[in-house]
Amino acid sequence: MAITVLVVDDSAFMRQLIKQMLESDPAIKVVAVARDGLDGLNKIEFFRPQVVTLDLEMPRMDGLTMLAEVMRRHPLPVVIVSSLAVEGGELTLQALELGAVDFVTKPAARPSQELWQIQDELVLKVKAAAQVRPELLKQLPVTKPVPEKVFTDVSSSGIVAVGASTGGPRALRYLLSQIPADFPWGMLIAQHIPVEFTRSFASRLGALSSLKVKVAEENDEILPGQVLVAPSGLQTGVVKEDGKVRIKLAQSDAIYRPSVDYLFESVAAVYKENTVGVLLTGMGADGAYGLKVIKEAGGITIAEAETSCVIYGMPRVAAEIGAVRYQLPLSEIPRCLTEVLARFTQKQ
């Protein structure tokens, strides 16, 4: 059976072009198109598509308003397809936080030959979205009050490295909202996200967290209670110089920049057994091998369980290759982190 899709876009040209792109793959069938959010909601009721592609800027009802209604009424996997995905990174991040599975950026230029460049990415992401269990899009763990003081000894030196891809922005928002203010180690995050989104992403994480959150820059020192977000377009690692651990950025032509594997391998080489690796939801396998490197170096490895993953890809591969010590739903990962670090601080 073909994956059924509803295309929502205020441009008649784009509606037909997206339909053609998707139906170039025999595994996808566009069952309807809609010109705005109101039209889209009505057609969801009638056609019951498996996946929705959604523009953000539309008359009558915009994409964010429609997305919120979809998640309230009957959650569906939604892929954002919008030029605003670059121009309005904040809007796209809001859409991901509301429950959109992924996004595809329309080229700024409108000639059709430029627009066709997104075809392969669009088809891939719609197919991945069709595998998502709709109930996971609406259900996020309930945030709990986080005590300011949890750790009695903050003298130990270590790192928590976190990797995520599809579904990561929402998962990371939850995770950071549950970390106590006296967190005794530094944290590094590698999230697959476009260059244009990195600063907005770090800012939105920081607004929810008791910790300081910023985009990592060359030579930044790893400090207790500080979260550094790996900048997109580069590889982020660490080096130890004169007794201090600092950020080392590198150019790369790898598929993923930042690569979770690159980050995990780098921190394991420097921090060894004082490393905790956390691998969250995401498509593909990035981070699985790096998590195994952390485990082999004596560190602790945690992967998100299938029960809460939007896309159970990266954590699944990590589990299959024996890289995972603790496999937990998202709601239990903050508690596990706190307990693990409490044991580390007591040992030293």
Delimit the domains of the chain by residue range.
3-138, 159-347
Is 271 in contact with 299 (CB distance < 8 Å)? Answer: yes
In eight-state DSSP terms, residue 332 is G
Q: How far apart are CA 206 and CA 70, in angstroms?
A: 28
Q: Of the residues 192, 209, 308, 331, which is catalytic?
A: 192
> Is domain 3-138 in CATH 3.40.50.2300, yes or no?
yes
Q: What string of pLDDT tens digits covers the 348 residues of the chain?
A: 899 999 999 999 999 999 999 999 999 999 999 999 999 999 999 999 999 999 999 999 999 999 999 999 989 999 999 886 555 578 889 999 899 999 998 876 565 667 788 999 999 999 999 999 888 887 677 677 777 777 766 556 899 999 999 999 999 999 999 999 889 999 999 999 988 889 999 999 999 899 999 999 999 999 999 999 999 999 999 999 989 999 999 999 999 999 999 999 999 999 999 999 999 999 999 999 999 999 999 999 999 999 999 999 999 999 999 999 999 999 999 999 999 988 876 654
Burial zone of 157 (CB within 10 Å; 0-12 exposed, 13-18 middle, 19+ buried): middle
Active site residue 286: yes
Residue 142 CA: distances (Å) to CA of 42, 222, 306, 338: 30, 30, 18, 18
Fold identical between 3-138 and 159-347?
A: yes
Q: How far apart are CA 230 and CA 109, in angstroms?
A: 29
Q: Of the residues 10, 36, 62, 286, which is catalytic?
A: 286
Residue from 284, 300, 287, 279 nearest 258 by CA: 287
Q: How far apart are CA 104 and CA 102, in angstroms?
A: 7
CATH of domain 159-347: 3.40.50.180
Q: Where are the alpha helices (DSSP H) in 101-252?
A: 112-115, 119-129, 134-138, 168-177, 198-208
How crowded is the C-beta side of 24, counted as CA atoms within 13 Å? 15
Active site residue 165: yes
Give the global pTM.
0.92
Q: Of the residues 82, 165, 232, 266, which is catalytic?
A: 165
